[in-house]
Structure 1
Amino acid sequence: MIKLGKTQFEINRVGFGGIPIQRITKEETKKLIQKCKEEGINFIDTARGYTVSEEYIGYSIKEDKDYWIIATKSMSRDYNSMKNDIETSLKNLGRDYIDLYQIHNLKEDEYEKIFSENGAYKALEEAKKEGKIREIGITSHSVSSIEKGLEYDKFSTIQFPYNIVENQGEKALIKAKEKNIGTIIMKPLAGGALDNAKLALKYILSKEFVDVVIPGMDNINQVIENVKVGNEKNVLTESEMNEINKIKNELGSRFCRRCGYCLPCTENINIPMQFLLEGYYSRYNLKEWALDRYNSLGNGASTCTKCGACERKCPYNLPIRDMLKEVAKKLEG
């Protein structure tokens, strides 16, 4: 067990990511979460945007709700919407309080809005004073957004993707650790792109700046294997480092790190989000959810005019135009 940053939460370094339970039943979720408790997991991450996830989790923890450290999050940016989302989350989770409430997928240009008189942060502060939430955090896929968040003394945790092929946030995560801000790692398998889950988790847990990693799980074998990695001494061997370097080389030429340097797109396509949702569609088996979110974005991959501006800005030299074509074929075809 470790303490999550400056919070008082004592948690297992392996937590439970609540995205995949959208594809199993409520009863299967309950059995899964009971197994998590048996194996020592006590941190659960979910979100308002994960359809039935909050409800399934609330149903699964009602007999032992005080055992769990529950984190959820909302895309709301204004006061009233966030206030409503907090109440909905409390109802769904069946609790009087939520341990960690996060502003979900926060972008660099949204801080002024969330801190305004009518902003989401005001609703979170009020809820904290009322005892409805205990801590406030942020999540993002943008390094610049996380870096900006670290400039404020307002957040207890940050949540960011980090894995074998996505290390663009490493400096920000190290800085957060130095400031005693809790570090929560999402996308440990790079959205399903990494096959060797044991090595992927071991790589993350070998980093001292990581507090907790939250792999998505939808079956009991995954729980057992993930906890086993967490209980081991996570020191990488030479052969494991060689395997990691091999994976980086193989995936590096066609894998989006969501750094955002390709933006803005001349056609206002949210390029990183195209690849993120394609991953959920193709590798997470969340086709309907991914399609709903994709269709809500506005300009999709097929609106690309192949101008090449994005590729000239990409630090990883990705063939973005070809990759967008593949996204359009899968998600629009």
Structure 2
Amino acid sequence: MQYVPLGQTGLTISRLGFGGIPIQRIDQQGTRALLKAVHEAGINYIDTARAYTVSESWIGQSLEELGLRDSFVLATKCRALTAADMRAELAESLKNLRTDHIELYQFHNPSLKDLETILAPGGSLEALLEARKEGKVGHIGLTAHLAAVFERALEVDEIETIMFPYNIVEQQGADLIARCAAKGKGFIAMKPLAGGAIEDGRLAMRYVLSNPDVTVAIPGMADPAELTSNLEGAANTAPLTEEEQAACQKVRDALGTQFCRRCNYCAPCTVGIQIPSAFLFDGYIARYGLEDWARQRYATLPVKASACVECGACETRCPYQLPIRQMLKKVVEHFGE
């Protein structure tokens, strides 16, 4: 495992981190077993969030039971905009994670307008600066899905790390990532597998970590097989071979630009469609030719894409501005319902 400084925070972290979103699909015992394996593999960076339902709680309980709290750099985040709300959210994170301090606390995907509220007097930055003085928070970061927010965050001295999507098919932040490194801020690559759209985890991690400006990549993991695949990709951070570059191009050609990253920000659907799942199963037909298997999986969805009433609420929440209503129509064409 390769270890590097996290920007200028003074923290040293593994270049492969643990993304805590998918553990919502398993249980607390499974989380504990997975974190034990993660520790044994040399990973020392954990990412979670207040918004990830049970993720903070299960991680906190697992680390306490395993006696491994001090073996990890914990990073979490919330969407609080005001100082008062941030104090409440931070208190809940500390309680959930069963700790008296969190190494990195981040503003979770604010819009440009929200970021200005965060930075203004009475904004949530004020509360995090107080918490840093009190030792409850070690460092402050920001996560973003839009390049304009990333660019604005680069100008804010108090923001020490920035998280942004970066993978084989998402290159919109490449120049900003280089600027982030030049400014001495840590860069955290989210969606290294494009939200599960890239199936070759080894190649995906090879691509992301071959960029020296990437401090750490945080693929979501929920089972040992995913951990193994990610470790294989992280084992070699040398420049990509010609064969690997060609394989990356094949992935780009297959996915294009309009694909769901499964971030789930579109939820909740007003009629209950599990939008990311519908797109995932559709992708198994469109990209991988697994029609029978995809149809079996799609059949398990309680509400099908055909139930869409075209209200458009999902599209207002999608950080990638996808034409979700039109994409759902394609799903109906493929599955018949």
Normalising by structure 1, we get a TM-score of: 0.81
| Alignment partner of 1:116 out of 115, 120, 125 | 120
- State the partner residue of 2:285: none
Q: Distance in 1 between matches of 2:98 and 2:215?
A: 27
Asked whether 1:190 is paired with 2:187, we answer no
Asked whether 1:174 is paired with 2:174, we answer no
Letter in 2 for 1:278: I
| Alignment partner of 1:302 out of 310, 318, 321 | 310
- State the partner residue of 2:294: none
Q: Answer whether contact 1:274 1:324 (CA < 8 A) is retained.
A: no
Q: What do you get for the CA RMSD once the two structures are aligned?
A: 3.0
Cα offset for 1:324? Answer: 5.3
Sequence identity (%): 42
Cα offset for 1:282? Answer: 5.0
Per-residue deviation, residues 11-69 of structure 1 (Å, max 9, x unmatched): 11000000000011101100100100100000000000000000000011111211110
Q: Distance in 1 between matches of 2:244 and 2:210?
A: 12
- State the partner residue of 1:32: 34
Q: Distance in 1 between matches of 2:131 and 2:207?
A: 37
- State the partner residue of 2:23: 21
Cα offset for 1:184? Answer: 0.3
Secondary structure of the structure 1 residue equivalent to 2:188 = strand
Secondary structure of the structure 1 residue equivalent to 2:46 = strand
Cα offset for 1:107? Answer: 1.2
Secondary structure of the structure 2 residue equivalent to 1:158 = strand
Asked whether 1:56 is paired with 2:58, we answer yes
- State the partner residue of 1:279: 276
Segment of structure 1 superposing worse, 226-235 or 116-125: 226-235
Secondary structure of the structure 2 residue equivalent to 1:174 = helix
The verdict on how the C-alpha distance between 1:68 and 1:304 changes in structure 2, with shifts beyond 3 A counting, is closer
Q: Answer whether contact 1:75 1:104 (CA < 8 A) is retained.
A: yes
| Alignment partner of 1:84 out of 88, 103, 110 | 88
Cα offset for 1:303? Answer: 2.3
Letter in 2 for 1:213: A
Q: Distance in 1 between matches of 2:330 and 2:104?
A: 37
- State the partner residue of 1:311: none
**Corresponding pairs, count:** 295
Normalising by structure 2, we get a TM-score of: 0.80
Per-residue deviation, residues 126-153 of structure 1 (Å, max 9, x unmatched): 1101000000000010100010111111
Q: Distance in 2 between matches of 1:256 and 1:175?
A: 27
Unaligned runs of 5+ in 2: 269-273, 282-297, 303-307, 314-319
Secondary structure of the structure 2 residue equivalent to 1:302 = coil
User: Equivalent residues in 2 for 1:249-268 (5 A)?
Assistant: 249-252=253-256, 254-255=258-259
Q: Distance in 1 between matches of 2:105 and 2:217?
A: 17
